[in-house]
Structure 1
Amino acid sequence: MSALDTAGTYRLGDRTVRRIGYGAMQLAGPNAFGPPRDRSAALGGLRAAIASGVDHIDTSDYYGPHITNELIREALHPYPADLMLVTKVGAKRGVDGSWNPAASADELRGAVHHNLRRLGLETLELVNFRLMLDESLPAEGSVEEPLAVLDALRQEGLIRNIGISNATPAQVREARRLIEIACVQNKFNLAHRGDEALIAELAADGIAYVPFYPLSGFSDQQTAVLDEIAAGLGATPMQVALAWLLQHSPNILLIPGTSSIAHLKQNLAVAGFVLPAEAVALLDGIATG
């Protein structure tokens, strides 16, 4: 049995995965732009993740751009039968590394084909439509047109499951009225809990929620509380933040990213953590909403 099995599994689209996966974003250069500082270390980290039991990798062709998908293919192709590769579309990178929307029908179709080609796949297991809006406060707006494009690609056999990312609760509900949604990937952590009601709503229907930025946006006071709790438990702040997410709701799937094998091992070790009730109470008290 893999150590990751102690954290349990959850449904992700039409598959079941372990609740701790791996985010590939940090395999590229700073700000997910350009090549990695150490290509061999990046390849080694991917292989170590699979060897440790990871069966869910989150990536996108706009990381790099193209870098993480090329690394994943070089390190892991042909892929293990149980590996679920999840990618995102809806953005493109400027020559200066900027993040720009790319949600027209042609751009979305092109992005799906780019992901297929660089990953060496005939079908993408799960594609998240990523709204390129402010990550702290996404703006409202209909998602019908881009999801219709992705649904058509699903009917063509190029996509198996569709998710949505950086979306408001209203956009998630609209998406669910239009098509079957496999997961929601939004910003959520100890200090930013605006999606509490949405997570519970999704959990009631067996839909995965995948939080990003588990340590982003903390105030100095919140960071001090987290550091104190981590020191008392003999853990790192990241481990405590991940463990809190894992215990917070059964439909939360983690995708911590790193280019370091040492940090990878620390992240995966969270599968065996059980935060004591007093620590959870203290952590629950540092939310800002």
Structure 2
Amino acid sequence: MINKVLKTNTNIFLASKIGADPNPNGKIPIKLAQRPEDLRKSIENNLRSLGLDAGPSMVSPEGNQVVDIDDQMATMIDFRNEGKIGAIGLSGVTLDVFKRAVPAEIAAVQNVYSLISREFERLLVACSDHKVAWIPFFPFGGNVPGWPKVSEHQEVIKIAQRLSLTPSQVGLSWLLQHAPNIFLIPETANIEHLQENINVSSIVLDDTAIANLNDLAGISN
């Protein structure tokens, strides 16, 4: 589908992820592909499927899939130098890994993060300091069994009712106002929810709402 769109509109910035490949018949529908040769194969496969010549199960690396970040960055830099990718991004990384990767000129980091899931706050600050985009996945929370949902938090519901917003809009608006380098990728298969998400770009939470939401995780106002 993306291949067809690219043929009629070249003014598109496309970000894709590698490091895991489809495994439809496995217990987990993806399998790790972390090694440099796996990364190269994934890049080439992506370019082929996109028709470009120039070109949520959570898993953790183990066994021979545990690869040093320096080796991975060397491979990604080669891809960039070859013109196969335009920039390098990281996903699911720690602050220490990010610091080691910074010399490779990282463009973006994508980690789990939301109004009620802020364990990577220090990493977000580091990204902001280095002018690296922060792309929170699961921005609504709750995508893994047992994880809390932004829309079910009582303080979020209360603020949403006061401001005539949906709880999800409150969660997304807080993200946009929390840091200048945050870019949103909220999922939806519903047109009404898509419009709600788009409307967030014009919403500005008041100081009282921001202070109360910051207090949920003890962030200084």
- State TM-score, norm by structure 1: 0.65
Shift of the 78–206 alpha-carbon distance from structure 1 to 2, 3 Å rule, reads: same
Structure 1 SS opposite 2:89: strand
Contact map agreement 2:35 2:67 (CA 8 A) in 1:
no
Q: Quick one: which of 173, 192, 195 aligns to 2:120?
A: 195
Look up the match of 2:91.
Answer: 165
Look up the match of 1:65.
Answer: none
Structure 2 SS opposite 1:252: coil
Aligned residues between the structures: 206
Q: Specify the code of the residue in structure 2 equivalent to 1:72.
A: I
Look up the match of 2:204.
Answer: 274
Q: Specify the code of the residue in structure 2 equivalent to 1:256.
A: P
Structure 2 SS opposite 1:84: coil
**Aligned pair 1:152/2:78, yes or no?**
yes
Question: Could you tell me how far apart the structure 2 residues matched to 1:195 and 1:220 are?
Answer: 17
Q: Which has the higher strand share?
A: 1
Q: Following TM superposition, by how much is the alpha carbon of 1:264 offset from its aligned partner in structure 2, in angstroms?
A: 1.4
Which structure exhibits the higher relative contact order, with contacts defined as CA atoms closer than 8 Å and separated by 6 or more residues? 1
Q: Specify the code of the residue in structure 2 equivalent to 1:112.
A: I
Percent identical pairs in the alignment equals 34
1:169-205 deviations in whole A, cap 9, x for unaligned? 000011113x111111111111121222222222222
1:102-181 alignment runs, 5 A limit: 102-123=33-54, 132-133=59-60, 142-177=68-103, 179-181=104-106
Q: Following TM superposition, by how much is the alpha carbon of 1:236 offset from its aligned partner in structure 2, in angstroms?
A: 1.5
**Aligned pair 1:85/2:14, yes or no?**
yes
Question: Could you tell me how far apart the structure 2 residues matched to 1:211 and 1:285 are?
Answer: 20
Look up the match of 1:100.
Answer: 31
Look up the match of 1:204.
Answer: 129
Shift of the 159–132 alpha-carbon distance from structure 1 to 2, 3 Å rule, reads: farther
Please identify the structure whose Cα radius of gyration is greater.
2
Contact map agreement 1:191 1:288 (CA 8 A) in 2:
no
Query: Alignment RMSD, CA only?
Result: 2.5
Unaligned runs of 5+ in 1: 1-70, 125-130, 135-139
Question: Could you tell me how far apart the structure 1 residues matched to 2:7 and 2:198 are?
Answer: 22
1:254-280 deviations in whole A, cap 9, x for unaligned? 111222222211111100000011111
Unaligned runs of 5+ in 2: 142-146
- State TM-score, norm by structure 2: 0.83
Spell out structure 1 runs of 4+ moving beyond 4 A.
219-222
Question: Could you tell me how far apart the structure 1 residues matched to 2:18 and 2:4 are?
Answer: 21
Shift of the 108–270 alpha-carbon distance from structure 1 to 2, 3 Å rule, reads: same
Look up the match of 2:144.
Answer: none
